[in-house]
Chains A and B, each alone.
Chain A
Amino acid sequence: MTNAVEFDNIDVIFGNRQAESLKLLDEGKTREEIAAATNNVLGVADVNFNVPQGEICVLMGLSGSGKSSLLRCVNGLNTVSRGSLRVHDGDWMADVTKCDGPTLRKLRRECVAMVFQQFGLLPWRTVAENVGFGLELRGMDPKERRDVVDEKLALVGLDQWADKYAHELSGGMQQRVGLARAFATDAPILLMDEPFSALDPLIRNRLQDELLDLQEKLNKTILFVSHDLDEAMKLGNSIAIMEGGYVVQHGTPEDIALRPANEYVADFVAHMNPVHILRGRAIMHRIDRDKKTGSAELTLEDANIRITLEDGVVRSANNGERGELKLINYDGTLPSDLDATDNSIVFVAQDDVLLKDLIDIRSITQNPVILTRDGKVSGTLGRKEFFDSLTQTASVPD
């Protein structure tokens, strides 16, 4: 996979004594010590990671952790003090730390768009004029612009509101205008600086869902700043957790949830609801590899169920009293005609199904859930595994 954004040893220092501050940073001085010595503020230090094309990467941390500072480097709103920050758009590439004015403008007009926490809409312009802002700067003629604007407004469901002014809209709608404005330039990279933090929780949730839907259609590379771990876990393909300007952990949501790198990350994780993040494979009782090959029988201890495997594929299941049990493949939706607590069925689900969906499955049957990967059995989920997962003692997945 190709990278859309590459952070390469990025340091950001705010103030006018850059060289001095960088030297202190190299000597291992902390943010406070640097501020005391030079009156400069350490924004970001030693950031090294890449964002692959088409992924959502969430920068996450408390306020003052440098997440916004880092984000704003990507389109040059903040100046990088040292390091190299490369932005790719197909074959085109620019190093934001070195490029000249026209290149930076090209990057901002065509390659990187931004959504702001306080929306940043121009109050003297109508919704349509705001959405067309980037295209107008580019010099696109008004007729063509109108077509694009209408299309993007329809995309965010605001086509009826084109001629209103921003302040006539609710907060959630204003941020949709902000989204449409960012989409309008067709930039492949989107920077979102706590875009939903100013909204109430219900609207925030809905916009998160909408963003995920849109992302499925548009397949952008999104850098998203958030201070809310639940939001980060929900949206992010990867999460970079920042503290005091440093990235303390960068990994998948599961990595973060299951293997917090330090106290700071663990603190975040402790306050998060695991059912939206953990997947079956992270909590399941794994089945030995030798049982997956050839034909085998498997006994699930806590339910006294025997499963017949053929080359790792589940063929049948039975328990002594009831005889043959019905196997149902879970494909994302539950059959609606099932009794609650029907003990004559066994569900087979992929092992990347989220814990919250597994709990739904489990509420229908007392029997363990069988998890598969690529069609072959990888583990089982009994009562013990469910309870363990909720008390955060889940085992580490392979």
Chain B
Amino acid sequence: MEWLTETKIPLGQWISSLMDALNEHADFVFYTISDVLEFIIENTIDFLVWLPALLIIAGFGILAFVLHKSWKLTAFTVLSLLLIVNLGYWEETMETLALVLYASLFCMVIGVPLGVASAHRPWLYQAMRPVLDLMQTIPTFVYLIPTLILFGLGVVPGLISTVIFAIAAPIRLTHLGISSTPKALLEAGESFGCTPRQLLFKVELPSAMPSIMAGLTQCIMLSLSMVVIAALVGADGLGKPVVRALNTVNIAQGFEAGLAIVILAIVLDRICRRENNQTSGQ
């Protein structure tokens, strides 16, 4: 067995060198990205915090009612958000909301086209599958270190880590939705003379929409589950009080901040979830 351990393959060394090289020769790229993203997110947070809390809560209430026509959901949304204000975590909640929204936005903007492309090209999906598995299973802390080195402390490495963790869901679900478009509908589209683009936008995407929306809610949930980890690399938000509570063994603070995360998660999930009674097949 000695021959096996005699010369260690320097896998870790390679990755480390790669990171060093990137950091040395391309650091301006990462810093630019970091600066731009940080600017956008910070401004969004400032704006959200500047808006009166009651206005935002009313906005959520109206959104819940318009999308779902349910007084129960509207009442739940308004009351639970008021509870967050009462507990004193409104600002952190807005910071987390901004992070989650941007992470989900990036995931969808990148994930849906990738999902569509991989549904149309089996080889691409074959190639992507191990990468997606890797992104979902590799412990978050492992890629937290390189993102920290490349992007510096703050909200951006948190955002990037969140995107890496969450993006597999919209890719997989978009792939599933597009590739399970009923053959009958594809043929109907073709037989009336769809161009490939028309087939995508008028048949495949509408047919895959319930699945894509499921991808969005998944994405939001996964992003929220990354909030605490994002706080470790310096992203503001509800993760910070949780981390602080952990360090000071403060049960009360930990519970309250945790509850705020759960409330935000449930509210976003219920609002984004679509009853698909109208789009269920024939």
Query: In the bound complex, what is the Cα–Cα distance between A166 and B191 (angstroms)?
Result: 19
0 or 1 for each of B253-282: is its CB under 8 Å from A? (1 = yes) = 000000000000000000000000011111
B210 to A, closest residue via Cβ = A124
Instruction: Please count how many residues in chain A sit with their CB below 8 Å of the partner chain's CB atoms.
Output: 32
Given contacts A106-B193, A109-B192, A137-B198, contact A122 B184 (CB under 8 A): no
Query: In the bound complex, what is the Cα–Cα distance between A191 and B192 (angstroms)?
Result: 11
Which of the candidate stretches B54-62, B87-95, B112-120, B201-209 sits at the interface with the other chain? B201-209
Q: Which of B191, B281, B282 is A75 in contact with, Cβ under 8 Å?
A: B191
Query: In the bound complex, what is the Cα–Cα distance between A46 and B210 (angstroms)?
Result: 45
Offer 9 A-B interface pairs, CB within 8 angstroms, sorted by A: A107-B193, A112-B191, A114-B191, A116-B188, A123-B281, A124-B207, A124-B209, A124-B279, A137-B194
Given contacts A116-B187, A165-B278, A166-B282, contact A122 B206 (CB under 8 A): yes
Whether A123 and B280, one on each chain, are in contact in the complex, defined by CB atoms closer than 8 angstroms, is yes
A114 to B, closest residue via Cβ = B191
What residues on B are CB-neighbors of A166 within 8 Å?
A: 282
Given contacts A124-B209, A137-B198, contact A118 B282 (CB under 8 A): yes
Whether A122 and B193, one on each chain, are in contact in the complex, defined by CB atoms closer than 8 angstroms, is no
Q: Which of A109, A113, A134, A167 is B282 in contact with, Cβ under 8 Å?
A: A167
A118 to B, closest residue via Cβ = B184
What residues on A are CB-neighbors of B282 within 8 Å?
A: 118-119, 121, 123, 166-167, 174
Whether B278 and A120, one on each chain, are in contact in the complex, defined by CB atoms closer than 8 angstroms, is no
B190 to A, closest residue via Cβ = A77
B67 at the interface (CB under 8 A from A): no
A206 at the interface (CB under 8 A from B): no
Query: In the bound complex, what is the Cα–Cα distance between A134 and B198 (angstroms)?
Result: 11
A181 to B, closest residue via Cβ = B192
Q: Which of B193, B279, B280 is A138 in contact with, Cβ under 8 Å?
A: B193
Query: In the bound complex, what is the Cα–Cα distance between A174 and B282 (angstroms)?
Result: 10
CB of A274 to closest CB in B, whole Å: 36
A109 to B, closest residue via Cβ = B193
What residues on A are CB-neighbors of B194 within 8 Å?
A: 137
B248 at the interface (CB under 8 A from A): no
Other than the known A137-B193, A181-B192, what 9 A-B pairs have Cβ atoms closer than 8 Å? A108-B193, A109-B193, A113-B191, A120-B184, A122-B188, A124-B206, A134-B193, A138-B193, A166-B282
List B94-153 residues whose CB lies under 8 Å from chain A.
Answer: none
Most chain B CB within a 10 A radius of its CB, from A112, A118, A120, A137 = A120
Binding site for A on B (CB under 8 A): 184-185, 187-188, 190-195, 198, 202-203, 206-207, 209, 278-282
What residues on B are CB-neighbors of A185 within 8 Å?
A: 192
Query: In the bound complex, what is the Cα–Cα distance between A60 and B194 (angstroms)?
Result: 29
What residues on A are CB-neighbors of B281 within 8 Å?
A: 123, 167
Whether A116 and B280, one on each chain, are in contact in the complex, defined by CB atoms closer than 8 angstroms, is no
Most chain B CB within a 10 A radius of its CB, from A107, A110, A123 = A123
What residues on B are CB-neighbors of A114 within 8 Å?
A: 188, 191-192
What residues on B are CB-neighbors of A116 within 8 Å?
A: 184, 187-188
0 or 1 for each of A149-191: is its CB under 8 Å from B? (1 = yes) = 0000000000000000111000000100000010001000001
Whether B187 and A120, one on each chain, are in contact in the complex, defined by CB atoms closer than 8 angstroms, is yes
What residues on A are CB-neighbors of B190 within 8 Å?
A: 77, 108
Whether B184 and A137, one on each chain, are in contact in the complex, defined by CB atoms closer than 8 angstroms, is no
Query: In the bound complex, what is the Cα–Cα distance between A107 and B191 (angstroms)?
Result: 9
A105 at the interface (CB under 8 A from B): yes
A133 at the interface (CB under 8 A from B): yes
Query: In the bound complex, what is the Cα–Cα distance between A261 and B194 (angstroms)?
Result: 41
List A114-156 residues whose CB lies under 8 Å from chain B.
Answer: 114, 116, 118-125, 133-134, 136-138
What residues on B are CB-neighbors of A120 within 8 Å?
A: 184-185, 187-188
What residues on A are CB-neighbors of B188 within 8 Å?
A: 114, 116, 120-122, 133
A112 to B, closest residue via Cβ = B191
Query: In the bound complex, what is the Cα–Cα distance between A161 and B104 (angstroms)?
Result: 39
0 or 1 for each of A277-314: is its CB under 8 Å from B? (1 = yes) = 00000000000000000000000000000000000000
CB of B187 to closest CB in A, whole Å: 6
Query: In the bound complex, what is the Cα–Cα distance between A133 and B188 (angstroms)?
Result: 10
What residues on B are CB-neighbors of A138 within 8 Å?
A: 193
0 or 1 for each of A75-95: is its CB under 8 Å from B? (1 = yes) = 101000000000000000000
A134 to B, closest residue via Cβ = B192
Query: In the bound complex, what is the Cα–Cα distance between A108 and B282 (angstroms)?
Result: 24
Query: In the bound complex, what is the Cα–Cα distance between A12 and B216 (angstroms)?
Result: 44
CB of B195 to closest CB in A, whole Å: 7
B186 to A, closest residue via Cβ = A120
Whether B193 and A105, one on each chain, are in contact in the complex, defined by CB atoms closer than 8 angstroms, is yes
A165 to B, closest residue via Cβ = B278
CB of B63 to closest CB in A, whole Å: 22
B279 to A, closest residue via Cβ = A124
Query: In the bound complex, what is the Cα–Cα distance between A137 and B202 (angstroms)?
Result: 9
B277 to A, closest residue via Cβ = A167
Whether A133 and B192, one on each chain, are in contact in the complex, defined by CB atoms closer than 8 angstroms, is yes
Given contacts A122-B203, A123-B279, A167-B282, contact A105 B187 (CB under 8 A): no
Query: In the bound complex, what is the Cα–Cα distance between A169 and B245 (angstroms)?
Result: 58
Most chain A CB within a 10 A radius of its CB, from B202, B278, B282 = B282
What residues on B are CB-neighbors of A75 within 8 Å?
A: 191
Query: In the bound complex, what is the Cα–Cα distance between A114 and B189 (angstroms)?
Result: 10
